[in-house]
Chain A
Amino acid sequence: ETAVFQTPNYHVTQVGNEVSFNCKQTLGHDTMYWYKQDSKKLLKIMFSYNNKQLIVNETVPRRFSPQSSDKAHLNLRIKSVEPEDSAVYLCASSSGGARDTQYFGPGTRLLVL
């Protein structure tokens, strides 16, 4: 049963455009994350938020900015996309402890032409 929801599923855009992805979790978790899965399937942490506060920013280019309105929502905006931004962006949530399971959404696939 899906409990982490992401929109859109797929987005095609051109270099220089701005895009925004949404994520919502219904698990009651305090912590949410954005991960990037590239074309080689490498999966890397981008950001983590705990109760609307940014906790981790893993050397992500400044054109990426996460936004959280409440602990159940974490959006991702990319100001001016570049070709290397083409990837699947995965949102996840957890209770926030190091041993806690992270639950992933289905991902948003971004293609930059």
Chain B
Amino acid sequence: GDSVTQTEGLVTLTEGLPVMLNCTYQSTYSPFLFWYVQHLNEAPKLLLKSFTDNKRPEHQGFHATLHKSSSSFHLQKSSAQLSDSALYYCALSANYNVLYFGSGTKLTVEP
């Protein structure tokens, strides 16, 4: 079946340092990969999603590259900001067009 693994449950960083949140997946199909962000007491919102070609999606300074060979879609940002503190979910969509989410990574950015 389809599944997504996020190995870090909690990540704490100092403002200005780079961010990397890991995401690997398993799927019988060729899935689309997504990153959703959920700020405290808010709904999850799309941060970025994979393209069908080799373009690298970017949004709000975040980017992710889909590597089919390693089944990964890690989220990166060169410099963390305080406002980046949130819960980040990696998700995939394949055969039935529903989202299968990883367990989430809580990112805390400190001054």
> A: which residues have CB within 8 A of B?
4, 31, 33, 35, 40-45, 48, 55-56, 58, 90, 94, 96-102, 104-107
A43 contacts which of B32, B44, B52, B93 (Cβ < 8 Å)?
B44
Closest to B100 in A: A45
CB distance from A105 to the nearest CB of B (A): 6
How many residues belonging to B are interface residues under a CB distance threshold of 8 Å? Answer: 24
Contacts of B43 in A (CB 8 A): 4, 90, 104-107
Within 8 A of A (CB), among B1-54: 31-32, 34, 42-46, 49, 52
Within 8 A of A (CB), among B84-111: 87, 89, 93-101, 103-104, 106
Assess the A102–B104 pair: CB atoms within 8 A.
no
Assess the B96–A104 pair: CB atoms within 8 A.
no
CB distance from B57 to the nearest CB of A (A): 11
Assess the B103–A42 pair: CB atoms within 8 A.
yes
Assess the B103–A101 pair: CB atoms within 8 A.
no
Q: Contacts A104-B45, A105-B43, A106-B42 given; indicate if A45 touches B99 (C-beta within 8 A).
A: yes
B96 contacts which of A55, A101, A102, A105 (Cβ < 8 Å)?
A55
A48 contacts which of B42, B96, B103 (Cβ < 8 Å)?
B96
Pairs A-B, 5 closest by C-beta atoms? A104-B43, A43-B101, A45-B98, A98-B93, A99-B32
B97 contacts which of A31, A58, A105 (Cβ < 8 Å)?
A31
Assess the B89–A43 pair: CB atoms within 8 A.
yes
CB distance from A99 to the nearest CB of B (A): 5
Assess the B45–A56 pair: CB atoms within 8 A.
no
Contacts of B44 in A (CB 8 A): 43, 90, 104
**Bound: A48/B95 CA distance, A:** 13
Assess the B46–A33 pair: CB atoms within 8 A.
no
**Bound: A90/B100 CA distance, A:** 14
Assess the B45–A43 pair: CB atoms within 8 A.
no
**Bound: A1/B50 CA distance, A:** 24
